[in-house]
């Protein structure tokens, strides 16, 4: 992708269970925004999942990485967690 490109990473999840995506970006990627959007649901319904998202800008040429692990922050990493990784080649 060209330097300066902005893109979004979106991952499903449910923070009401205590789980969060713990995201890491290499130094050549700039985090512009991150948030969670709840899926459509009936009024009064609780425990609804949705989508975590990160808006990112590719700032430096070269190989850049985005990675995330879906986990409860107070629990130890076991190796069985869901993970996501993405490699960006910035030109």
CATH number, domain containing residue 81: 2.60.40.2020
Residue 41 is predicted with a pLDDT of 93
Residue 89 is predicted with a pLDDT of 97
Does 1 fall in a domain?
no
Residue 79 is predicted with a pLDDT of 94
Residue 57 is predicted with a pLDDT of 98
Residue 7 CA to chain centroid, in angstroms?
Answer: 12
The residue-averaged pLDDT of 23-36 equals: 97
The residue-averaged pLDDT of 1-24 equals: 96
Q: Which residues contact 42 (CB under 8 A, 6 or more apart)?
A: none
Nearest C-alpha neighbor of 17 from the set 52, 43, 54: 52
* 67 neighbors 85 (Cβ within 8 angstroms): yes
Domain that holds residue 24: 6-90
Note the pLDDT tens digit of each residue in 37-91. Answer: 999 999 999 999 999 999 999 999 999 999 999 999 999 999 999 999 999 999 9
Number of domains in the chain: 1
Does 40 fall in a domain?
yes
């Amino acid at each position: 992708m060209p330097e300066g490109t902005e893109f979004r990473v979106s991952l499903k999840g449910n923070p009401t269970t205590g789980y969060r995506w713990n995201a890491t970006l290499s130094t050549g990627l700039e985090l512009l925004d991150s948030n969670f959007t709840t899926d459509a649901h009936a009024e009064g319904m609780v425990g609804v999942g949705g989508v975590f998202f990160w808006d990112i800008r590719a700032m430096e040429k070269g190989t850049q990485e985005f990675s995330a692990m879906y986990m409860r922050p107070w629990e130890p990493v076991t190796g069985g967690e869901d993970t996501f990784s993405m490699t960006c080649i910035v030109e």
